[in-house]
Amino acid sequence: MTDRALIDHISSLPHARANFKQLVREVGAKGPGREGLEAALARLTARGDLIELRSGHYVVTARSREFAIGRLNMHRDGYGFLISEKPLEGIHGDVFLPPESAGKAMHGDRILVRIARIEAGGRADGEIVKVLKRAHPTVVGEFRLHRRGQFVIPQDDRIQQWIEIPEGLEFPPAGPSVDRIGVTAPKAASVEELDGMVVNVELLEYPDKGAGPVGRIVEILGHPGDFGIDVEIVIRKHHLPHQFPPEVVEQAQSIPNAISEADLAGRQDFRDMDIVTIDGETARDFDDAVWVDRLANGNYALHVHIADVSHYVRPGTPIDAEAQLRGTSVYFPDRAVPMLPFELSTSICSLVPNADRLVLSALLEIDHQGELVSQEFTPGVIRSAERMTYTNVHKLLEGDAALRERYQPLAPRFELMQELALILNRKRVRRGSIDFDLPEPLIEFDEWGAMTGVTRAPRNIAHRLIEEFMLAANEAVAAHLEDSGNPSIYRIHEKPDPKRVMEFEEVAAHFGYSLGVGPIPVKKFAVTDRHRDGGQRHRGGTKQRHEIVLPDAQVKIASRMYQKLVAKIEGKPEERILSYLMLRSLKQARYSAENVGHFALAAESYTHFTSPIRRYPDLIVHRLLRGWIAEETELSALSEECSQSERRAADAERELVEWKKVKFMTERVGQDFDALIVSTAKYGLFVELAELFIEGLVPIDTLPGDEYAYRESVRKIVGKRTRREFSIGDRVRVILDRIDANDRKLQFSLLEPELPKKRRKLSKQ
């Protein structure tokens, strides 16, 4: 019996409960089968699918209202919240965990929680029953000598516990480890030299029953102010695999750097076609190449050639295991942590110009309405004619004489690409695809690697070419795999939560806009302020607040609503803030073995096929296309694993960028900037600097000329005497007051324009 079948069987029983003897009898597990049942129950209990209430008595977690599973989100003040993996019946928001319970685990741990109480309004309290999966095999922090012993203070302040380092353990060599073997490391540091340095600690004991964690130092990274230490810390804080094991390096180095005749067997030959890659100036690996032509019937032939990573990375090999562990490449402003070894990612798998490269190709015929007429997926071989950049393709299409002469044989091909890309884009617009064209920040560095500024990343028609062609290929592959009836991995984007949509509608209404979802239903009720002190809840009086409460059926949400609003606000002063808030109202896209469509793209089927050098799901999709996936492969678990890897990488990239920004601003304390209010809260205004894409807080108690209060119902900060209002979207002038280096946060104050002399005199009267 499979794990899924066992869960289904217990779910069918009264109260979704069973004891071991009952299961032995009902599933007919005898002899060796009994051992298999014991192993399955242990496996399902460890995963959290089952709860063992007492010895030999099991209940299905998903069917129980008493228990919930999710991730622990710790607050620096000691309490925490359960971020449930599934919606909890009768509960609104996250489950509160008091300090004495939250202290049993660490931030990010996957935990099983017993729901202790549900208040009016749906707020819930709970207690941790079991830690199902530890989030932190290692912790990065600062080593400190203390009168009570040796400790490491975690760099992440959501990890509350100091980690004890027992005396007598040997210290490793100083300096971060590297990705290649044979580097001579410096001598190990002494305890005194180590005091105040940043280290990485392997946890030997986790917090339990009041006892703190214990660990041993496995890496000495350097001093907090050392150049490049920020990258090293972020890599370890987010547990990014960054060292290729020796067996992976050995396998990568054994792969020939040239294509043999045997490699070409069964492949279509595209080497005589003027296929090109189009990427950014700083790109190091090239995993997609394109070609467009006009067919005799007037339709377009679009060829999308993707590096055939699946030819080199076979299931079960060391490189495959490491690629699955990493899930994705991680891109920092000044370096990358690749999914594949450099021997593959920047060499034999990279579609460099004038070199034979193996590909998996999507050959599409598209009509003048952008509809797919026919498709073929085939292994092939190409020889890229040019390594083009977005900048040069854009200039060429804009009529740059020098570039048109330089690429004269290719110019008609690029014009045809532009023609087809615009047709594909119009088709997506017709069906309701949302196209947020938000400016992307681009961090600039000097020759020494120090940040010099933040600019708006360029975006032009050349970016559009590649985007449209990759979208078309991904959709075609997804539909083909779905039509085959075989299991697959999809890139899904679920419909937004109606409550978040209505919250956006509230803000949009202040700007005179609406998605058009209908009137906002609001239910008012009284809730108590919640003060937490050592886990004790004290009633601090009641206040009236509003909360949107509505069944999903009341709100009809379509991607076209977002699309129309995006078009309405294009070029308006409020475009940036409303686009940002619209994005926040949407769910995150993720990988899934179950296809529910892609809301933002308005696509019935979508997947990732076009970047197997840097994304593991794309590699899996390549194998699925070729029938190289074993039947027993658990695509559902693999999809979730890849989604988690993607989120981990995004969090790490975002954190380092914010760290770089704060460091850049340390020399700008006292300077003033134009800013936009992007959020309001009871403690102040959050502003984004107009030219630098940098955010900070203007505390409410620093606002000039009055005493201010936050009005949650309208999301405004209002002066009690002057009635002056500060709202989301207002433009202000701010001055940078101070920087909290530990929390990496910026604090601003408003810079008020001086009144003219005549007005100043009148105002005194």
Q: Please give the Cα distance from 383 to 174 (Å, whole number).
A: 46
| Phi, psi angle pair for 210, to nearest 5° | 90, -15
Joined tokens for residue 215? 């660990």
pTM of the model: 0.86
pLDDT of residue 523: 46
Residue with tokens 């942590």: 337
| Phi, psi angle pair for 552, to nearest 5° | -55, -35
Q: Please give the Cα distance from 425 to 433 (Å, whole number).
A: 9
Cβ atoms within 10 Å of 671's Cβ, excluding its own: 10
pLDDT of residue 738: 94
Neighbour order of strands in the sheet with 17-19:
17-19, 57-60, 50-54
Q: Please give the Cα distance from 153 to 163 (Å, whole number).
A: 7
Contact 595, 482 (CB under 8 A): yes
Nearest to 303 by CA among 288, 289, 291, 286: 291
Q: Please give the Cα distance from 357 to 383 (Å, whole number).
A: 6
pLDDT of residue 175: 66
pLDDT of residue 574: 84
Q: Please give the Cα distance from 514 to 555 (Å, whole number).
A: 13
Q: Please give the Cα distance from 737 to 672 (Å, whole number).
A: 9
* Stretches in the chain below the pLDDT threshold 70: 1, 28-32, 175-189, 519-555, 753-765
DSSP letters of 103-163? TTS-TT-EEEEEEEEE-TTS-EEEEEEEEEE-S-SEEEEEEEEETTEEEEEESSTTS-SPE
Q: Please give the Cα distance from 489 to 614 (Å, whole number).
A: 16
pLDDT of residue 544: 40
| Phi, psi angle pair for 111, to nearest 5° | -130, 155
Burial of 646 by CB count in 10 Å (0-12 exposed, 13-18 middle, 19+ buried)?
buried
Residues 6+ apart with CB under 8 A from 570: 437
Nearest to 155 by CA among 746, 742, 745: 742
pLDDT of residue 756: 47
pLDDT of residue 658: 87
DSSP letters of 553-570? GG----HHHHHHHHHHHT
Domains of the chain (ranges; CATH) run 3-62 (1.10.10), 65-133 (2.40.50.140), 138-239 (no CATH), 255-474 (no CATH), 495-586 (no CATH), 669-764 (2.40.50.140)
How many residues in total does the chain contain? 765
Nearest to 324 by CA among 336, 316, 332, 333: 316
